[in-house]
Structure 1
């Protein structure tokens, strides 16, 4: 099951295209969901981190590149195709007029 889950996330393949050597894709998917819900993954990762830390084999490296973390042009406020919207009409204030 772990090999099937790792293969799916390593390759980005849809669940239904999981190779037959891993067994039923439905079984792997449901096992992943059950382990996520009951906290099995958190316990496995905590144990692996504790073991790596005890062996002094833990090295954290984080790299963020702005060329990878980019917003789509429309999310950044770029003008979309089509006619420009009419400018806003200014409504008169309900307050007293200025002299």
Structure 2
């Protein structure tokens, strides 16, 4: 599905999804991808009492609200819809692949 492809693209491109296990909007963000795609998200747990917490990384990145996305070195606070995440990460949601790949194929 395009949700799985986008989640994999975000992970492979070095994007990060910072959140906390108690954060309602983080749960909504994950659910917007669906179960299989949510498992592929580049999720970083920021709550010190959370499973596989990396609170030190969150602190070093000065992440203070959840969810926060880091995409191409830029930080975006708040839950984002799939189209927004695709646009921010140069992903063609309709074709299910990075935008650069779809552009290159069209030029060939």
Would you say same fold, with TM above 0.5? Answer: no
When the two structures are superposed, what TM-score results if normalisation uses the length of structure 2?
A: 0.28
Write 1 or 2 for the structure with the bigger share of strand.
2
Higher gyration radius (CA): 1
Greater relative contact order (CA < 8 Å, ≥ 6 in sequence): 2
